[in-house]
Amino acid sequence: MEALGLFGGTFDPVHLGHLRAAAEVRRKAGLDRVLLIPSYLPPHKAPGAAAPAADRLRMVELAVRRRAGLEPSAVEVEAGETSYSFLTLRKVRALRPRARLFFILGVDAFLEIGTWREYRRLLGECLFIVTGRPGFELERARDVLGGRLRDAIGPFPPGARAGGRLPPGRRVFLMPIRALDVSSTAIREKARRGLSVEGLVPRAVAAYIRERGLYRGR
């Protein structure tokens, strides 16, 4: 069975921390591919708060060039509407009906899943891989929704493959990774001040930010 990771986010901009996380999860879980999916309009941000969706998508396209197993996805940008995860799942499933789908997200985001639209449907129709984030203990994921998912949460089994046999009843897999402490907020601030962002984003993304004048004056 083909196994796909869905790694969504504002990606404003995409940075080396995102890429490290996607590649490490892919390797550890044995995913065939990880789709990096920039949102069109994140539900938690006001319109115009992020760089234009077309620019954020282009930066993702540049970032994943020659990175095996990582692919850009325009499914949310092309939809041109508020980016809710359950709608993204529906669209990807229509495109890849036979794939096993895994949402990839940090524990900080997973702790807020109770605020997501249609989160019960999402938890029922998709598997999750939850990664550690600087400043957040991975084990805190077991307390999400008041602990109601505790029996469905556990580590990704060593040696298991995402497309193969997985523990019955487990819907959420905890996966520690060597996270990079890189922040899109800090990158935007450096770009706003005209400082170099190389070493924080791929070189092609740094050049794109510079050439397009992204984040200047914001």
For residue 3, give both structure tokens: 């196994």
What are the pLDDT digits (tens) for 156-181? 999 999 999 999 999 999 999 998 88
The dihedral over CA atoms of 145, 150, 152, 155, expressed in degrees to the nearest 10, equals 120
Buried/exposed 4-23: b ≥16 CB within 10 Å, e otherwise: bbbbbbbbbbbbbbbbebbb
CB atoms under 10 Å from CB of 213, counted, come to: 10
Average pLDDT over residues 93-102: 95
Amino acid at 202: P
Strand partners, 105: 130
The torsion region of residue 169 among left (phi > 0), alpha (psi -120 to 50) and beta comes to left
pLDDT band at 47 (very low <50, low <70, confident <90, very high): low
Which contiguous run of DSSP H or E holds residue 105?
Answer: strand 100-106
CA neighbor of 45 nearest in space, from 35, 59, 56, 61:
56
CB atoms under 10 Å from CB of 117, counted, come to: 12
Out of 24-28, 43-47, 117-121, 133-137, pick the least confident: 43-47
The pTM assigned to this predicted structure is: 0.94
CB atoms under 10 Å from CB of 44, counted, come to: 11
Residues 6 or more apart whose Cβ sits within 8 Å of residue 141: 107, 110, 111, 130, 153, 172, 174
CA neighbor of 71 nearest in space, from 111, 106, 22, 108:
22
Strands of 10-155 (E only): list them.
33-38, 70-72, 100-106, 127-131, 153-155
Q: Which domains does the chain have, with CATH numbers?
A: 3-180 (3.40.50.620)
Amino acid at 91: K
pLDDT of residue 98 exceeding 90: yes
CA angle 177, 122, 82 (to 5 degrees): 95
What pLDDT was estimated at residue 218?
Answer: 62
What pLDDT was estimated at residue 40?
Answer: 93
pLDDT, averaged across the chain: 94
